[in-house]
Amino acid sequence: MEITVRPAVETDLPALLVLLYDEFYPGEERIPRESAAAIWAEISAQQGRTVLVAEADGAVAGTADCIVLPNLTRGGRSVMFVENVVVSGSHQRLGVGRRLLDAAADLGRTAGCYKMQLLAADDEYVHTFYESCGFESRAQGFRRYLETVRPRGSSLR
């Protein structure tokens, strides 16, 4: 099987939505196609942000959302955050996830990042996978979910 990783483009949006909603967050209500297209345009225009897709034999098999953030510490070197790492169930354990994370690390190095970090679900298999890709469990993560306030007339988020 040939695996290639590249930046996602607008025509990948339907496949990304399948990965995110059918594989990563099954049961979560999908956003309307028009909203997804508007959000994709916003993501695509964001400096320092690259959504990667992994193709396996020509089909989108995985994705990772990479965000480079400028930083005032560590000599001004940026930090890369990786979100929404997902590989389709039919392509797991075939090297797709590793290729995605290797490509993300290459992006980070090119951008001058001193570290790449992500949060992972409390799942032993997932933790073992990330450790096998060179990640270390070095800190305890915290998150706080926020209620969003929508401006009048806004249909996004």
Instruction: Tell me whether strands 79-87 and 59-69 are parallel, antiparallel or unpaired.
Output: antiparallel
Domains of the chain (ranges, CATH numbers) = 3-132 (3.40.630.30)
pTM to 2 decimal places = 0.88
Say how many C-beta atoms besides its own lie within 10 A of residue 91's C-beta. 21
pLDDT at 124: 84
At residue 155, the pLDDT reads 55
Kindly compute the dihedral angle of the four CA atoms of residues 16, 63, 19, 9, in this order, to the nearest 10 degrees: 10
Q: How confident is the model at residue 119 (pLDDT cuts 50, 70, 90)?
A: confident
Pair 138, 87: CB distance under 8 Å: no
Q: What is the pLDDT of residues 53-92, one digit of tens each?
A: 999 988 999 999 999 999 999 999 999 999 999 999 999 9
pLDDT at 117 over 90: yes
Q: Quick one: pLDDT band at residue 156, thresholds 50, 70, 90? A: low
What is the reported pLDDT for 99? 96
Amino acid 130: pLDDT: 86
